[in-house]
A and B are shown apart, each in its own frame.
Chain A
Amino acid sequence: MPANSSLLVGRELRLAARRPMDALSGLVFFVLVGSLFPLAVGPDAPLLVAIGPGVVWVAALLAVAISLHRLFEPDLDDGVLEQWLLSPHSLTGLVALRIAAHWLVCGLPLVAVGPVLALQYGLSPPAVAVLLAALLLGTPTLSLLGALGAALTLGLRGHVLVALIVLPLCVPVLVFGSSAVSAGQQGLPVGPQLSLLGACLSLAAFLCPWATGAALRLAVE
């Protein structure tokens, strides 16, 4: 039975508006970390251009990671998760919508702010465009992998544990994402990296909602 997606996503967006810190903390973290590096490194233009893509991607990855522990925990405490599991709707579908809402709230703002951060590193306009495309393809994968990690560690109360599980899984996204931007900066073709990011997204979108649902069943049991 298909779930009414607008109602489910609407609930998450409404919740995000009423618990603004959950969504904003990741964005503020992203902006702060991205801005601290140029201050610490100093006005060394070639160095900033060289480290820019990597720093922006690491900051985005950590920003997603710090938002993860709130993904399912409130619903577990309130007993909403039990109702999810007992719903005649497909759990995989419900989880997929929950992850989509998480990306809208936590991932999309990073995509929007990323190019602004890139300007601090003096990246060229084509490289900024590549960064935008790479973030658009890569951050949904981070949300998908992050949801899996959050579900696996649900109920353990160890917020660091989520990061320890998720960050290694995100290494391919990190590598392809930052190398795409570096290639864009040097005027090299970026098609292969973006294609690989798209492949990562497809694979994660296919496997993660299902695996996350299975992990949630274990967490509630």
Chain B
Amino acid sequence: MVFAALSFAARPGDAVQVRGSNGSGKSSLLRLLCGLLEPARGEVRWRRRAVSARDAGFAGEVAYLGHACGMTGELTVLENLRFALHLTGRACTEAACREALGQLGLAGRENEHVRRLSQGQRRRLALARVLLSGRPLWLLDEPCDALDDGATRAFEARLAAHAADGGVAVVTTHRDIAGQGREPRRIDMDALDDAGELQPARRA
């Protein structure tokens, strides 16, 4: 058992930050939310339906970024991005891909092999996939890992814009997300054991 007694709901426009020490179950929580893991007890719902990665309707609404970036070292930046977007079922023109890469500071590196990129640049590429996916639910595991300050601020701005558009984001991170406009909700995985329920509600 990694964690128990966690219950929370997110409404459109919510950004939820998950904090906690190493091994407290932040990543497991995210994998539960996207349906890659099944909960031993309890349930996860999205639009009143139980979540499962097998459900194409749910899979069409979630963008998940795990520890690994989901990019192949031997393919170029642009090839990786176009393939990843194709997997999400979203046709994206090459121009749109280049524009998103430019916004994330990867302009001029489109034809470079991902193997040659730094850790931070790979993270930027993985974020480009999430930004272009157009999904209402973002589940991001340490998205700012290895990002520099400028890129982190740019990402926070995009996160705020996503929430303002009525999207939902659940983000695990060590450093607090700067709230722009609406303050992000925070869940502390270390405070679960004694407090019991955090906020009794269901996921919208």
Contacts and interface: CB of A to CB of B under 8 A. Distances in A.
A86 B59 CA distance: 5
A4 B86 contact: yes
B89 A78 contact: no
Contacts of B68: 77-79, 82
Interface string B105-148: 00000000000000000000000000000000000000000000
B60 interface: yes
B87 A84 contact: yes
A205 B86 CA distance: 24
Interface stretch (A12-20, A47-55, A151-159, A189-197): A12-20
Interface residues on A, range: 20 to 34
Nearest to B88: A87
Nearest to A76: B68
Interface string A71-92: 0001101111011111111110
Interface residues of B, number: 31
B87 A87 contact: yes
Binding site secondary structure of chain B: loop
A7 B83 CA distance: 8
Interface stretch (B4-12, B14-22, B30-38, B172-180): B30-38
Contacts of A88: 56-57, 59-60, 88-89
Contact of B73 (A78, A85, A217, A221): A78
A75 B72 contact: yes
B89 A80 contact: no
Interface of B: 34-38, 53-54, 56-57, 59-60, 62, 64, 66-75, 79, 82-84, 86-89
Interface of A: 1, 3-4, 7-8, 11, 14-15, 18-19, 74-75, 77-80, 82-91, 94, 217, 220-221
10 contacts: A4-B86, A8-B86, A14-B75, A15-B75, A78-B72, A79-B68, A83-B88, A88-B60, A89-B89, A221-B37
